[in-house]
Amino acid sequence: LKPSIVKTSPKEGQKPGTSGLRKKTKVFMEKDYLENFVQSTFTSIVAAGTDISTGTLLIGGDGRYFNPEAIQTIVKMAIANGVGRVWIGENGLLSTPAVSAIIREQGPTWKKAFGAFILTASHNPGGPDEDFGIKYNCENGGPAQEFLTNAMFDNTKTITQYAICKNFPTIDLSKVGATRVEKAGLEVNVEVVSTAATHLALLESIFDFPAIQNLLDRPDFSMVYDSMHGVNGPYAREVFCKRFGLSEETMMNSIPKDDFNGGHADPNLTYAKELVAVCGLNKQGLKIDMAGKKVPDFGAAADGDGDRNMILGNQFFVTPSDSLAIIAANANKIPFFSAQGGLKSVARSMPTSGAVDLVAKDLNLSLFETPTGWKFFGNLMDSKDLFGGKDYTPLICGEESFGTGSNHIREKDGIWAVLAWLNILAAHNAKPNKPLVSVEDIVKAHWKKYGRNYYVRYDFEGVDKVAATAMMAKMGEMREANTGKAVGAFTIATADIFEYNDPVDGSVSKNQGVRFLMADGSRVIFRLSGTAGSGATVRMYIEKYEADKEKLHMNVLDAVGDLIAVGLSLCDIKTFCGTETPTVIT
Ligand code: VG1
Ligand code: CO
């Protein structure tokens, strides 16, 4: 087990983005590329005080191309760096939320994990010609904070060597169980752990499974769940087929594939087209003629690494921002929250609509607005000071990008959101022999009470990075000149660049998007994506609030059409990037 020290030199561009380092798979397969990043991570966490010799390192991925090879390399490097114990997900598979759950698990026979490598580029396509990714999560189960990802990046710029135990045996990822290797007084434990067990046990402790079972058993209720050939399949089958006894037909695309079957495992109206069609919708979320064909009452989809969710009803699309608000408004129906004395706070990323703000105001919850990316929620969840010294504060978080979750773990959790909706539906349908209260009924009742935040996001993928950066800079420079200006039917009350002062550790995250806040409460926001594997993606977020009861059921694009036009002219993307046609609308 003698580690070899291999000479290397820095690789360009190994800066972790919104959620880890993502690059073309071929780049990751280049000599020393993965090794450099992994070594830089070990160096950073040791420098930050992590004792890697007594704890456990967890490794798993979303099953994309190069996943098994990368795992074997990381194991060999972990051991060379002095890690005493490694756990790996069965077949190399672990969803992002499951990783978070396992890190936080403190079972009697398990030594607690100090962190994890998750091999995923999430919703980015996979395969030899597509994307690969890696991220590091810390002891709290959440993504590494910025100070740590900055330190990793700094190390990648100065790295000269890495350590690897080349002669460590290749681990059989298909067999759950331990491999103990002992040599020269050094004992190393590598254990392949069940992909789903820990996470599912946690979910069962959160939701009212008997009530969900009653709902699923109703003859007038049916559901489908599309795992999009990502890592969610084994979890979905375990819960819905094994635990709840649904037929395999309810599970769409539930076998993980290393290229997601050539698809784009991103649960939205554009990419989850198979599910969207089954649920009787087109890609604008509008009803299509089903010619009498039966449509499921509930539909859901997950992304490649299982942390995102899309929720559909019978010919009905729930926007992620509305989903967050509705779960928060109904949190008392979920045992996890009611047992803790009820939900106390909510958090959303800045571009996420203000629908949840209205619920927070109504229910007297604290509300936090963070930059895009889940790592900012973790600090709030772990803070005792923010919440009057209490250890444990029930908190629900969400992003407009189909991510929802709570402080049961430190990542967004796709299957959690699906079970949350089923739990809420079950509670609304608790009385026997009544017609089914549908997803659509629940959403419409919510709008009636709170008004509706019409919302749409335009993505311009694959645009020139220099041009997109210049466009953002121009809007930033113009912010004072734009403030107070009338544009179309709107007046810009404030134009600014969003900056976040973390209330927990005082850290400041600058340059988190350009905002145009209109006098009537409407918002137009621009960001550059931090997850693109190559090139640049511009995101334009459009929100318009409507309280008028007569105007709650409009077509979204009709409701916000004038604001979209205003947004396109404010950024002038046509001049900068040569297009104003989005590649994806969500
Ligand atoms: C996107 C989303 C963001 C999400 C992130 C990671 O980031 O907008 O809300 O947290 O992806 O999700 P960006 O920087 O491209 O806008 V995942 O499921 O890709 O880990
Ligand atoms: Co994801």
- What tens digit of pLDDT does each residue of 7-54 get? 999 999 999 988 899 999 999 999 999 999 999 999 999 999 999 988
- Is the shortest distance between the CB of 541 and ligand 1 below 6 Å? no
Ligand 1, atom 10, residue with closest C-alpha:
373
> Which of 273, 281, 268, 266 shows the shortest CA–CA distance to 314?
281
Residue 442: DSSP 8-state = H
Pocket test residue of 227, 531, 539 for ligand 1, highest count of atoms within 8 A of CB: 531
Question: DSSP assignment, residue 194?
Answer: -
Q: How far is the CA of 436 from the centre of ligand 1 (A)?
A: 35
Count of beta carbons in the 10 Å neighbourhood of residue 473: 12
Tell whether the model's pLDDT for residue 391 goes beyond 60.
no
- Token pair for 109: 């026979």
pLDDT of residue 358: 97
Give yes or no for residue 586 CB within 6 A of ligand 1: no
CB atoms within 10 A of CB 32: 16
Q: In what order do the strands lie in the sheet with 536-546?
A: 486-487, 490-497, 514-518, 523-528, 536-546, 452-463, 584-585
Same fold, 4-195 and 199-434: yes
Name every residue whose Cβ is closer than 8 Å to that of residue 106 and which is 6 or more positions away in sequence: 112
pLDDT at 189: 85
**Rounded Cα–Cα distance for residues 52 and 86 (Å):** 10
Joined tokens for residue 48: 């930050």
CA atoms within 13 A on the CB side of 175: 7
The CATH number of 199-434 is which of 3.40.120.10, 3.20.20.10, 3.30.1360.30, 3.40.1170.60? 3.40.120.10
pLDDT score of 185: 63
Q: Is 530 in the pocket of ligand 1 (CB under 6 A)?
A: yes
Verify whether ligand 1 is closer than 6 Å to residue 67 (CB atom): no
pLDDT at 450 over 80: yes
pLDDT higher than threshold 60 for residue 229: yes
Residue 586 has pLDDT above 70, yes or no: yes
Q: What token pair was written down for 86? A: 């490694």
CA of 267 to the centre of ligand 2 (A): 10
Residue 119 has pLDDT above 90, yes or no: yes
Nearest atom within ligand 1 for CA of residue 530: 14
531 lines ligand 1 (CB under 6 A): yes
pLDDT (tens digit, 9 = 90+) per residue, 299-351?
Answer: 999 999 999 999 999 999 999 999 999 999 999 999 999 998 899 999 999 99
Among 323, 324, 372, 538, the mutation site with the greatest number of ligand 1 atoms within 8 A of its Cβ is 372
Where are the domains positioned within the chain?
Answer: 4-195, 199-434, 452-585
Q: Interior CA angle at 273 toward 237 and 400, to 5°?
A: 85
Measured in angstroms, how far is the CA atom of residue 504 from the centroid of ligand 2?
A: 25
Ion ligand 2: residues, CB < 5 A: 122, 303, 305, 307-308
Residue written as tokens 């009470």? Answer: 449
The CB of 315 under 6 Å from ligand 1? The reply is no
Contact indicator for 457, 399 with CB cutoff of 8 Å: no
CATH superfamily, domain 4-195, is Alpha-D-Glucose-1,6-Bisphosphate, subunit A, domain 3 (3.40.120.10)
Q: What is the DSSP letter of 241?
A: I
Contacts 24+ apart (CB under 8 A), 287-295: 287/315, 288/315, 290/315, 294/222
| DSSP E strands, 287-365 | 298-302, 309-313, 316-318, 345-349
CATH code for the domain defined by 452-585:
3.30.310.50
| Token pair 């009530």 in the structure block, residue | 211
Q: Is 275 exposed, middle or buried (0-12, 13-18, 19+ CB in 10 A)?
A: buried
- The 10s digit of each residue's pLDDT in 506-529 is 889 999 999 999 999 999 999 999
Closest CA to 379 of 412, 407, 353: 407
Q: Whose CA is nearest to atom 6 of ligand 1?
A: 19
HSE toward the beta carbon, residue 147, CA cutoff 13 A: 10
* Contact in structure between 395 and 367 (CB atoms under 8 Å): no
Ligand 2 midpoint to CA 402 (Å): 9
Nearest CA to ligand 1 atom 16: 529
Q: What is the mean pLDDT of the chain?
A: 94
What is the bridge-based pairing of β-strands 395-399 and 345-349?
parallel
What pLDDT is recorded for position 392?
57
Residue 106, pLDDT score: 66
Q: Is 122 a catalytic residue?
A: yes
